[in-house]
């Protein structure tokens, strides 16, 4: 068995005896991952009347930061998208804020996250409404990521946008441009909206600052960030949205790192693989190994736990939830129906693990399910 994230986090939890000095939601996430699929969360055993115990199945924690619970959550999320996707090409657009604002983000995850969603959505809709580009409102699914490959803080949103939209009269129009929207005007509009909103939060006193920071100092920081590089990347259109949806799903439910990337853990340091996008070859970014102390690894991981109740994925335009949007999509589907291939790919059930047996392999009698509560002794497997 490979390295488990729970083993790494468990070392820190036991070392500090639960005194982590972090927000309650962070401590709850770390404890949930450590307890995932263990006797602490309960479970059930299967046995026959002859007393043969066939196996023990422990409950999952279902925390969105847990990589071991991600598969089922991703599958359920993908299946829900079948009901909202429009049958047209889609674009993948990435909005990133400069790293000069990272420290401010660490103190104000929720307000700056809300601002990032609003600024990217408003910039995209404002430019798309221009008849020169589309003259309509596209359907968008926007997902927030706060991490890079090395688990460093890197706030950005991934936007899946339909290559077409709905006009004010409710008619569907398809995009006539290959690149959908030009990146440079979109970047300028996004930057202006984000900084305008950031200054508003600051002046209304809605931002947490360091003890040694002043409003004037933060205003200078915002002024500096305005002249830094803001990355807005508009990818070529995808004829099918499957690739982007699967990409978003993997990172939405499962936290910033999957256990396949964990190489080794010796109790003091962690080694994991990452892709270096600044060091590319003809085959793509190089794959490199990073070594971190266990404390630094957990610190980097914990900084990406979102606040309680914060929605990491949101839908806008024809893709938003609600009765009016649903009725609008029904009209759109008559013009742009989802292809059968996409529908089957997103709604096809996947096997998460081998099915639990129903018959005892020892005596052939039927198996019964016996619940296990927390702390209950586990019967020995036959």
10, pLDDT greater than 70:
yes
Rounded to whole angstroms, the Cα distance separating 263 from 288 reads 11
Residues 151 and 55 in one domain: no
**Assigned domain for 22 exists:** yes
113, pLDDT greater than 90:
yes
**Assigned domain for 366 exists:** yes
Question: What pLDDT was estimated at residue 362?
Answer: 80
Q: Computed from CA positions of residues 111, 112, 117, 121, in that sequence, does the dihedral angle turn out positive or negative?
A: positive
At residue 99 the predicted structure's pLDDT band, cuts being 50, 70 and 90, is very high
Residues 248 and 363 in one domain: no
Q: What's the chain's Rg over C-alpha atoms?
A: 24
Q: Computed from CA positions of residues 286, 147, 117, 84, in that sequence, does the dihedral angle turn out positive or negative?
A: positive
Q: With b meaning 16 or more CB within 10 Å and e meaning fewer, what string describes 259-298? A: bebbeebeeeebbbebbeeeeeeeeeeeeeebebebeebb
The total of structural domains in the chain comes to 2
**Assigned domain for 241 exists:** yes
Residues 32 and 148 in one domain: no
20, pLDDT greater than 70:
no
Mean of the per-residue pLDDT values for the chain?
Answer: 85
pTM (global) more than 0.85: yes
Residue-number span of the structural domain to which 142 is assigned: 67-256+304-347
Rounded to whole angstroms, the Cα distance separating 126 from 136 reads 9
**Assigned domain for 294 exists:** no
Residues 189 and 240 in one domain: yes
**Assigned domain for 318 exists:** yes
Measuring CA to CA, which residue among 139, 130, 65, 89 is closest to residue 314? Answer: 139
Rounded to whole angstroms, the Cα distance separating 139 from 193 reads 20
For residue 181, give Cα distances in angstroms to 134, 158, 266: 8, 15, 49
Residues 48 and 191 in one domain: no
In this predicted model, which residue has the larger pLDDT, 264 or 78? Answer: 264
At residue 349 the predicted structure's pLDDT band, cuts being 50, 70 and 90, is very low
pLDDT tens for residues 32-91? 999 998 888 888 888 888 878 777 888 889 888 998 887 777 777 777 777 778 878 888
For residue 200, give Cα distances in angstroms to 107, 111, 194, 216, 339: 17, 11, 10, 13, 44
Q: Helix 183-203 crosses helix 109-128 at what angle (to 10 degrees)?
A: 140
**Assigned domain for 283 exists:** no
| Alpha carbon of residue 139 to chain centroid | 19
Average pLDDT over residues 286-305: 94
Q: 105 near 153, Cβ under 8 Å?
A: yes
**Assigned domain for 143 exists:** yes
Helix (H, G, I), strand (E, B) or coil at 314: strand
Residues 240 and 150 in one domain: yes
Residues 52 and 162 in one domain: no
Q: What is the DSSP string of 80-104?
A: HHTTT--SS-EEEEEEE--GGGHHH
Helix (H, G, I), strand (E, B) or coil at 206: coil
CATH code of the domain containing 333: 3.40.1310
Residues 151 and 204 in one domain: yes
Residues 32 and 152 in one domain: no
Rounded to whole angstroms, the Cα distance separating 304 from 63 reads 13
**Assigned domain for 111 exists:** yes
Q: CB neighbours of 10 closer than 8 A, spacing ≥ 6?
A: 34
Residues 58 and 124 in one domain: no
Residues 328 and 196 in one domain: yes
Largest CA distance in the chain: 78
In the chain, DSSP finds a helix count (H) and a strand count (E) of: 11, 12
Rounded to whole angstroms, the Cα distance separating 276 from 329 reads 40
Q: 234 near 185, Cβ under 8 Å?
A: no
347, pLDDT greater than 70:
no
Residues 101 and 138 in one domain: yes
């Amino acid at each position: 068995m490979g390295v488990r994230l729970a083993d790494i986090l468990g070392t820190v939890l036991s070392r500090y005896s639960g005194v982590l000095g972090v927000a309650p939601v962070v401590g709850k996430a770390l404890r949930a991952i450590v307890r995932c699929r263990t006797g602490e969360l309960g479970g059930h055993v299967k046995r026959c009347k002859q007393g043969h115990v066939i196996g023990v199945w422990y409950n999952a924690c279902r925390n969105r930061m847990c990589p071991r619970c991600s598969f089922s959550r991703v599958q359920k999320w993908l299946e829900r998208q079948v009901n909202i996707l429009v049958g047209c090409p889609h674009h993948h657009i990435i909005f990133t804020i400069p790293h000069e604002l990272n420290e401010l983000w660490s103190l104000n995850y929720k307000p700056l996250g809300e601002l990032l969603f609003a600024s990217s959505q408003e910039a995209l809709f404002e430019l798309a409404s221009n008849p020169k580009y589309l003259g309509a409102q596209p359907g968008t699914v926007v997902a927030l990521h706060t991490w890079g490959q090395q688990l460093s803080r890197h706030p950005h949103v991934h936007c899946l946008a339909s290559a077409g939209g709905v006009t004010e009269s409710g008619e569907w129009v398809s995009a006539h441009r290959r690149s959908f929207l030009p990146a440079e005007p979109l970047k300028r509009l996004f930057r202006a909206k984000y900084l305008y909103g950031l200054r508003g939060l600051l002046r209304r006193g809605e931002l947490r600052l360091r003890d040694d920071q002043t409003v004037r100092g933060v205003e200078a920081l915002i002024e500096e960030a305005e002249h830094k590089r803001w990355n807005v990347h508009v990818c070529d259109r995808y004829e099918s949205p499957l690739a982007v949806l699967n990409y978003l799903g993997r990172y939405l439910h499962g936290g910033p790192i999957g256990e396949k990337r964990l190489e080794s853990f010796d109790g003091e340091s962690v080694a994991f693989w990452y892709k270096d996008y600044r060091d590319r070859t003809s085959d793509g970014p190089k794959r490199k190994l990073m070594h971190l102390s266990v404390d630094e690894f957990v610190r980097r991981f914990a900084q990406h736990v979102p606040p309680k109740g914060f929605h990491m994925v949101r839908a806008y335009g024809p893709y938003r939830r609600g009765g009016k949007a649903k009725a609008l999509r029904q009209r759109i589907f008559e013009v742009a129906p989802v292809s059968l291939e996409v529908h089957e790919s997103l709604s096809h059930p996947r096997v998460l693990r081998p099915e639990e047996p129903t018959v005892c392999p020892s005596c052939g009698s039927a198996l019964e399910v016996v619940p296990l509560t927390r702390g209950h002794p586990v019967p020995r497997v036959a």
